[in-house]
Amino acid sequence: MQAPPTKEGPRINDMIDEPTVLLIDAEGEKRGVIPTDEAIRMAEEAGLDLVEVSPNAKPPVCKLLDYGKYKYQAQKKAN
């Protein structure tokens, strides 16, 4: 069973407890279904975060991005 996103936002990095994810890279290209630990490693190597953007999909869709920037833009958009 999947944990829903927290009130603070989507699950990121080690908070994602699914065995595999559908990965979208920083350029928006679909990389396919890969193990979550490999996706986290790829994010770390790129200096980015693995962010769960569609938690209800099977497997969940995750994207490589700068979470701080993502959160800032989301707050800016909401105001």
What integer pLDDT is reported at residue 3 of this predicted model? Answer: 52
b/e per residue 62-72 (b: at least 16 CB within 10 A): bbbbbbeebbe
CATH numbers and ranges of domains, the chain = 13-78 (3.10.20.80)
What integer pLDDT is reported at residue 33 of this predicted model? Answer: 98
Coil/strand/helix, residue 16? coil
- Give per-residue pLDDT as tens, 12-37: 999 999 999 999 999 999 999 999 99
pTM across the whole model = 0.84
- Give per-residue pLDDT as tens, 34-78: 999 999 999 999 999 999 999 999 999 999 999 999 888 888 888
What integer pLDDT is reported at residue 1 of this predicted model? Answer: 44
Residue 23 token pair: 């990965």
What integer pLDDT is reported at residue 12 of this predicted model? Answer: 95
Burial grade of 53 (CB within 10 A; 0-12, 13-18, 19 or more): middle
